[in-house]
Amino acid sequence: MNSYKNPLEERYSSEEMLFNFSHNNKFRTWRKLWIALAEIEKDLGLEITDEQIVELKANAENIDYDKAAEYEKKFRHDVMAHVHTYGDVAPSAKGIIHLGATSAFVGDNTDLIQIRDGLLILKKKLVNVMKNLADFSIQYKDLPTLGFTHFQPAQLTTVGKRATLWLQSLVLDIEELDFFLETLRFRGVKGTTGTAASFLELFNGDYSKVKHLDKELSKRFGFEKVFGVSGQTYDRKIDAKVVALLGNIAQSAHKFTNDLRLLQNLKEVEEPFEKNQIGSSAMAYKRNPMRSERIGALAKYVMSLTTSSAMVASTQWFERTLDDSANKRLTIPQAFLAVDAILLIWNNIMNGIVVYPNRINKHIEEELPFMATEYIIMEEVKAGGDRQEIHEVIRLHSMEASKKVKEEGKENDLIERILNDDTLKLDKSKLKEVLDPKNFIGFAPIQTEEFIANEVQPILDANSELIGLESDLKV
């Protein structure tokens, strides 16, 4: 309790994402890379024995972290510390560990593996958010609600149609995520400055063997594409691009929670509120949108990290500079952990979200008379009235009704005023029929159905094996 603990680990992120960026996963991957490197080099004719390979494999997970820390303190070099630590438990193979490679061989390739696997973890959570939102959209596609422009009451939409706006953002996000995964390249085997000069020596100038080593190693770790050229490191634009992608998902989440927090203030839609949950330590009646606020807080953090990765990518010197290292250690894992938490919370919200139709309808009734004025003017003209004169009559009635609402706190009586105005000639028996909210939602239900069927459902079908997720929160 006397040292700082990262809240992402303690409070928010899933165990699978925490493992992805754990020391165990990182350094085991280093050893897997060293084993694969040795195996392929042996196949290509280097003097590496089966016994050496066997010893490396037998000790692949036998990592003495205390010994590694001692070596790093001595050498001031994390990779060489682990080379020596591995060599201590696999002495026969000590001389061929890391043969021809540079630090970026294990560091960069492991980073790329973690990025890929991290995105796959996020994709599962993202697909489940989309499934939950799609179900919500269809369930409420016909339920009229006030639309808002400038957060002022506007033409009606439906609760389900509004949810498709949140979904549309996620469609763009998952398209970007899939494209990133499809085009992600492995660093592979490139040498100290990207020229593979060390492997030129090892393979006596046989470039075809170096190419084979590069390609074969990448395939073993699930990468079909390999960087054709690099300096010592892979292009740091990869880091900037993936953090930007994570920032885009954070933007989508923040937009959703902003809307939900506003709706919760209106008492139209609420996030889950558990039986024993306390909203306020002082105000016992409160039901605060704490999950949404947590997403907002984490989303702001992720979006801020996009600048950091962009600055790193733009300031790399020539073939290698180390001022990326400390930044990468912080930025990339924490961006992934934060988005992981965001999607976990979002799924949790959707699994218990509450809609209040009566409250929604009450707000409609307060505003709908004003929205019906254009229809009333048109009907009056059809009945033989003068458009400009009628417009003035309706305007005056609207101003008086608005005054009653705003200054006196009374109900909107515009329709009653119009019904009692004998100068107006429209069929007043028809007026109340027209004021059915469903007459003011346009094509919202059809748009919702089409969007889900044409754009969302194909994504869900293509990722059906990912659907189904426990979304309990740590706190």
Tell me the catalytic residues: 150, 280
CA-to-CA dists, residue 350 to 122, 133, 272, 470, angstroms: 17, 7, 8, 12
Which letter does DSSP use for residue 282 in this model? Answer: S
Helices (H), 76-224: 78-89, 103-139, 159-183, 197-202, 207-220
Q: Distance between CA atoms of 320 and 308, rounded to whole angstroms?
A: 18
Which residues neighbour 393 within 8 Å (Cβ) at sequence distance 6 or greater?
421, 423, 424
Number of C-alpha atoms within 13 angstroms, CB side, residue 136? 23
Strand duo 152-158 + 269-270: pairing: unpaired
Which residues neighbour 65 within 8 Å (Cβ) at sequence distance 6 or greater?
23
Which letter does DSSP use for residue 226 in this model? Answer: B
Which region, left, alpha or beta, applies to residue 289 given φ > 0 means left and ψ of -120 to 50 means alpha? Answer: beta
Which region, left, alpha or beta, applies to residue 273 given φ > 0 means left and ψ of -120 to 50 means alpha? Answer: beta
Closest to 108 (Cα-Cα) out of 257, 2, 235: 235
Closest to 320 (Cα-Cα) out of 230, 417, 259: 230
Q: What share of the chain is helix, strand, coil (3-state, %, to 5)?
A: 70, 5, 30
Q: Distance between CA atoms of 46 and 95, rounded to whole angstroms?
A: 13
136 in Cβ contact with 160 (< 8 Å): yes
Assigned token pair, 427: 């069929």
Q: Tally DSSP H helices, then E strands, for the chain.
A: 20, 4
